[in-house]
């Protein structure tokens, strides 16, 4: 995988995690600086201020270990995390604590003695543990889940369950209650919920490891945290390079390497969400926002006419779409769409998925 693809992959993962665990308070706090950077900074600050440089692995265990991780989620301001964990445990009987403990057991042996790891190693551990906890749901559990979902708390659980769609896998479900009695569907939802939990856990572990200085220099997470790294030249021959005068913070932007589609000569990059909020005149609905993003892409790059289904089928597009829909959830049905503050231009948005479009387009 190329460096650019790794950057885009981590950027998309961050969008998904933010959409899953974010809440209104986070939006208010991050209005000026961007939600993505705010979410990363919360974990970075929490971990970075408690790391013992003489025992990085041990102090990280004390901060994000199995016994304290759920307190850490509250400290991060991950408002929706409790709802997601509750859904996983109460409905699907997922051993959430056991999942995280297993991840730490495997990760701890890799970082003992303050050894450094890579994102790929973390991903391998997380995916392996997720598979271990995907045992099929029993008929008794399916029945219990159906009963739980038909009680008075159904609306709250439905709101929580909608977050499961943020796995970037496009699937439609108009009612969890209608599907709850179907055994195969319950197993499918259990797998998706397990994957979501694993994605959140893995993302937090990566940020924590990088904040503690336990990520290898060539790992993309270091770059997102503005730590010395081998990707932008801030580390050479294993030693940090003097960065020179401080530069103003820039939003996280994916890099595109495709050459199939050229930027239109008539397109000029915008500087939205700087002096004022970026607002688009469009119906505030899932379908309309999807069409709006597709038109963004077509206004930036030549050659995308007729490729609407390819554009909308890419994981990056789905993640951006879900991010914007979730950001506008309190104004659904209105006549305007607010673009989240971490996005500054149509090209920045499009570049999160244009490489995938170029790969799939004939």
Per the listing, tokens 């990085």 go with 56
The C-alpha atoms of residue 13 and residue 17 are separated, in whole angstroms, by: 6
Does some domain include residue 253? no
Report the range of poorest mean pLDDT among 151-160, 217-226, 336-345. 151-160
The pLDDT of residue 300 is above 90: yes
Final residue belonging to a domain, choices 191, 224, 240: 240
Report the range of poorest mean pLDDT among 135-144, 180-189, 285-294. 180-189
Residue 54 vs residue 245, higher pLDDT: 54
How much is the mean pLDDT over the chain?
75
Does some domain include residue 265? no
Q: For residues 352 and 208, state if they share a domain.
A: no
**What pLDDT does 220 receive?**
83
Q: For residues 189 and 326, state if they share a domain.
A: no
The C-alpha atoms of residue 160 and residue 146 are separated, in whole angstroms, by: 16
**What pLDDT does 78 receive?**
78
The C-alpha atoms of residue 340 and residue 273 are separated, in whole angstroms, by: 8
**What pLDDT does 142 receive?**
62
Q: For residues 64 and 177, state if they share a domain.
A: yes
Range of the domain at 285: 279-360
Q: For residues 83 and 211, state if they share a domain.
A: yes
Does some domain include residue 252? no
What is the pTM (predicted TM-score) of this model? 0.57
**pLDDT one-digit tens code per residue, 231-266:** 554 454 444 444 444 443 444 455 678 899 999 999
* Bridge partner list, 336: 281
| Mean pLDDT computed over 324-353 | 86
Q: For residues 165 and 19, state if they share a domain.
A: yes
Are 43 and 76 contacting, i.e. CB atoms less than 8 angstroms apart? yes
Q: For residues 159 and 48, state if they share a domain.
A: yes
Q: For residues 231 and 131, state if they share a domain.
A: yes
Does some domain include residue 42? yes
Q: What percent of the chain has pLDDT over 70?
A: 71
**What pLDDT does 295 receive?**
96
Q: How far from chain centre, in Å, is Cα 245? A: 31
> Domain tally for the chain?
2
Structure tokens, 55: 């025992």
Q: For residues 219 and 329, state if they share a domain.
A: no
**pLDDT one-digit tens code per residue, 15-26:** 777 767 765 444
**What pLDDT does 362 receive?**
73
Are 339 and 324 contacting, i.e. CB atoms less than 8 angstroms apart? yes
Q: In the chain, which ranges are continuous DSSP H helix?
A: 3-21, 24-29, 35-48, 56-64, 69-76, 81-90, 96-111, 119-132, 139-149, 154-161, 176-179, 183-211, 220-224, 286-300, 308-312, 315-327, 346-350, 354-360
The pLDDT of residue 96 is above 80: yes
Report the range of poorest mean pLDDT among 213-222, 326-335, 348-357. 326-335
Q: For residues 227 and 335, state if they share a domain.
A: no
Per the listing, tokens 């789905």 go with 318
Are 276 and 339 contacting, i.e. CB atoms less than 8 angstroms apart? no
Q: For residues 306 and 202, state if they share a domain.
A: no
**What pLDDT does 33 receive?**
40
**pLDDT one-digit tens code per residue, 115-171:** 999 998 999 999 899 888 877 666 666 666 555 555 434 344 444 444 443 332 233
**What pLDDT does 166 receive?**
39
Q: For residues 88 and 208, state if they share a domain.
A: yes
Is residue 333 exposed (0-12), middle (13-18) or buried (19+ Cβ within 10 Å)?
A: exposed
* Bridge partner list, 174: none
- Which sign does the torsion angle of CA 10, 232, 209, 238 carry? positive
Q: For residues 122 and 67, state if they share a domain.
A: yes
Does some domain include residue 166? yes
The pLDDT of residue 312 is above 90: yes
Final residue belonging to a domain, choices 223, 240, 257: 240
Does some domain include residue 31? yes
The C-alpha atoms of residue 271 and residue 72 are separated, in whole angstroms, by: 35
């Amino acid at each position: 995988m190329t460096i650019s693809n790794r950057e885009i992959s981590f950027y998309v993962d961050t969008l998904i995690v933010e959409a899953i665990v974010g809440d209104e308070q986070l939006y208010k706090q991050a209005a000026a600086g961007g939600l993505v950077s705010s979410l990363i900074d919360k974990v970075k600050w929490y971990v970075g201020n408690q790391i013992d440089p003489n025992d990085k692995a041990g102090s990280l265990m004390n901060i994000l270990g199995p016994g304290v991780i759920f307190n850490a989620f509250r400290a991060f301001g991950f408002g929706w995390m409790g709802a997601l964990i509750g859904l996983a445990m109460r409905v699907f009987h997922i051993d959430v604590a056991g999942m995280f403990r297993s991840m730490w057991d495997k990760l701890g042996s890799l970082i003992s003695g303050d050894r450094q790891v890579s994102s790929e190693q973390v991903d391998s551990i997380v995916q392996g543990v997720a598979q271990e906890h995907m045992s099929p749901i029993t008929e008794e559990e399916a029945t219990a889940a159906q009963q739980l979902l038909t009680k008075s708390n159904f609306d709250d659980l439905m709101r929580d369950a909608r977050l499961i769609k943020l796995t970037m896998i496009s699937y439609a479900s108009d009612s969890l209650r209608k599907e709850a009695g179907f055994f195969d569907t319950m197993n499918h939802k259990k797998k998706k919920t397990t994957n979501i939990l694993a994605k959140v856990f893995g993302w937090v572990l990566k940020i924590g490891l990088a904040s503690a200085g336990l990520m290898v220099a060539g790992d993309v997470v270091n770059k997102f945290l503005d730590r010395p790294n081998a990707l932008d030249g801030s580390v050479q021959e294993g030693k940090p390079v003097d960065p020179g005068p401080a530069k103003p913070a820039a939003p996280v932007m994916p890099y595109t390497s495709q050459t199939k589609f050229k930027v239109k000569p008539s397109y000029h990059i915008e500087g939205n969400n700087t002096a004022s909020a970026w607002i688009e005149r469009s119906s505030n609905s899932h379908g309309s926002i999807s069409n709006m993003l597709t038109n963004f892409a077509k206004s930036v790059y030549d050659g995308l006419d007729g490729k609407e289904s390819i554009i909308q089928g890419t994981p990056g597009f789905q993640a951006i779409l879900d991010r914007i829909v979730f950001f506008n959830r309190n104004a659904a049905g209105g006549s305007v769409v607010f673009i989240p503050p971490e996005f500054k231009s149509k090209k920045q948005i499009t570049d999160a998925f244009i490489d995938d479009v170029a790969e799939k387009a004939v």
